[in-house]
């Protein structure tokens, strides 16, 4: 139940989704993003996501990340409601290690 609540759902191979050209969206604040982020990621703070969803390419999967995985889980729900294939990447620094492989 908690996995579903935080947008994690069934286990997915994020490495495979990244290899398919996923867009990585960091939903932390601009200040948090400036302190460190995944190279090539897009910063759209969670409270601005619905207004800025048009910046994201349709037809490509989206992986969200934040500090702990909670905000990125909320972002997944918002993106899915907007018609995106979206996955919760959890903490940005953990996802960064996966991206660098």
Greater confidence (43 vs 1) lies with 43
Handedness of CA 74, 77, 78, 84 (dihedral sign): positive
What pLDDT does 46 receive?
Answer: 98
Q: Which of 55, 18, 52 is nearest to 38 (CA)?
A: 18
Token pair of 64, please?
């969200």
What pLDDT does 4 receive?
Answer: 44
Q: Is the pLDDT of residue 2 over 80?
A: no
- In sequence order, which residues have a C-beta less than 8 Å from that of residue 23 and are 6 or more positions away? 42, 56, 57, 60, 61, 62, 63
Domains of the chain: 16-99 (3.40.250.10)
- In sequence order, which residues have a C-beta less than 8 Å from that of residue 40 and are 6 or more positions away? 24, 99
Q: Is the pLDDT of residue 85 over 90?
A: yes
């Amino acid at each position: 139940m908690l996995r579903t609540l935080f947008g994690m759902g069934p286990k997915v191979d994020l490495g495979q989704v990244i290899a398919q050209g996923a867009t990585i969206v960091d939903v932390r604040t601009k200040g948090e993003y400036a302190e460190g982020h995944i190279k090539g990621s897009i910063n759209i703070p969670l409270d601005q996501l619905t207004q800025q969803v048009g910046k994201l390419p349709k037809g490509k999967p989206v992986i969200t990340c934040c500090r702990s995985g909670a905000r990125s889980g909320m972002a997944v729900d918002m993106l899915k409601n907007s018609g995106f294939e979206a996955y919760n990447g959890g903490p940005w620094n953990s996802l960064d290690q996966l991206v660098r492989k």
